[in-house]
A and B are shown apart, each in its own frame.
Chain A
Amino acid sequence: MSSASPTGVAAGTSQLLELRGVHTHIGAYHILHGVDLQVPRGQVTMLLGRNGAGKTTTLRTIMGLWQASQGSLHFEGHDITRLHTPQIAAMNIAYVPETMGIFADLTVQENMLLAARSAKRASQMDAARLQWIFGLFPAVETFWHHPAGKLSGGQKQMLAVARAIVEPRDLLIVDEPSKGLAPSIVNNMIDAFAQLKESGVSILLVEQNIRFAQRLGDTVAVMDNGRVVHAGAMQVLADDTALQRNLLGLAL
Chain B
Amino acid sequence: MTIQARGFDWIPLALVPALALVMLPLVGSPSSWLTLTVAGLAMGLIIFVIASGLTLVFGLMDVLNFGHGLFIALGAFVATTVLGTMSDWTGSASLWRNLAAVLPAMLVAMAVAGAVGLAFERFIVRPVYGQHLKQILITMGGMIIGEELIKVVWGPQQIALPLPEAMRGSVLLGEAAIEKYRLFVVVVGLLVFGALAWTLNRTKIGLLIRAGVQDREMVEALGYRIRRLFVAVFAMGSALAGLGGVLWGLYQQMVLPQMGAQVNVLIFIVIIIGGLGSTTGALVGALLVGLMANYTGFLAPKVALFSNIALMAAILLWRPQGVYPVSNR
Q: Which residues of A contact B (CB under 8 A)?
A: 63, 65, 84-86, 89-90, 95, 97, 101, 103-107, 110, 113-115, 117, 119-121, 145-147, 149-150
A-B contact pairs, 19 of them (CB 8 A): A63-B221, A65-B221, A84-B220, A85-B220, A86-B224, A89-B221, A101-B217, A101-B218, A103-B211, A105-B210, A105-B214, A106-B210, A106-B211, A107-B4, A110-B211, A114-B211, A120-B204, A145-B6, A147-B7
Q: Contact between B221 and A95 (Cβ–Cβ < 8 Å)?
A: yes
8 Å CB contacts to A: which residues of B1-48?
Answer: 2, 4-7
How many Å from the CB of A142 to the closest CB on chain B?
A: 14
- The number of A-B residue pairs with CB atoms under 8 Å apart is 76
Q: Which residues of B contact A (CB under 8 A)?
A: 2, 4-7, 203-204, 207-208, 210-211, 214-215, 217-226, 326-328
Per the bound structure, the CA–CA distance linking A85 and B218 in Å amounts to 9
Q: Which residues of A contact B217 (CB under 8 A)?
A: 65, 85, 101
Q: Which residues of A contact B6 (CB under 8 A)?
A: 145-147
Question: A95-B221, A101-B218 provided; 19 other pairs, C-beta below 8 A?
Answer: A63-B221, A65-B217, A84-B220, A85-B221, A86-B220, A101-B215, A101-B217, A103-B327, A104-B327, A105-B326, A105-B327, A106-B2, A110-B207, A110-B211, A113-B204, A120-B204, A145-B6, A146-B6, A146-B7
Known contacts A97-B218, A113-B204, A114-B207: A103-B224 contact under CB 8 Å: no
Q: Contact between B218 and A89 (Cβ–Cβ < 8 Å)?
A: no
Q: Contact between B223 and A89 (Cβ–Cβ < 8 Å)?
A: yes
How many Å from the CB of B187 to the closest CB on chain A?
A: 30
**Max chain A C-beta neighbours (<10 A), residue from B5, B223, B328:** B223
- Which single residue of chain A is at the shortest CB-CB distance from B203? A120
Q: Which residues of A contact B225 (CB under 8 A)?
A: 84, 86
Q: Which residues of B contact A115 (CB under 8 A)?
A: 222
Known contacts A86-B225, A86-B226, A103-B328: A147-B4 contact under CB 8 Å: yes
Per the bound structure, the CA–CA distance linking A147 and B2 in Å amounts to 9
How many Å from the CB of A167 to the closest CB on chain B?
A: 10
User: A89, A103, A106: which contacts B220 (Cβ < 8 A)?
Assistant: A89
Per the bound structure, the CA–CA distance linking A120 and B207 in Å amounts to 10
Which 5 residue pairs are nearest across A and B when measured between Cβ atoms? Answer: A101-B218, A89-B223, A104-B327, A85-B220, A90-B223
How many Å from the CB of A100 to the closest CB on chain B?
A: 9
Per the bound structure, the CA–CA distance linking A6 and B321 in Å amounts to 52
How many Å from the CB of B133 to the closest CB on chain A?
A: 18
**Max chain B C-beta neighbours (<10 A), residue from A84, A101, A150:** A101
Q: Contact between B223 and A103 (Cβ–Cβ < 8 Å)?
A: no
Known contacts A103-B218, A105-B214, A147-B4: A86-B223 contact under CB 8 Å: yes
**Max chain A C-beta neighbours (<10 A), residue from B6, B210, B220, B224:** B220
- Which single residue of chain A is at the shortest CB-CB distance from B221? A95
Per the bound structure, the CA–CA distance linking A97 and B219 in Å amounts to 12
Q: Contact between B222 and A117 (Cβ–Cβ < 8 Å)?
A: yes
Per the bound structure, the CA–CA distance linking A117 and B225 in Å amounts to 12
Q: Contact between A97 and B221 (Cβ–Cβ < 8 Å)?
A: yes
User: A95, A103, A145: which contacts B215 (Cβ < 8 A)?
Assistant: A103
- Which single residue of chain A is at the shortest CB-CB distance from B214? A103
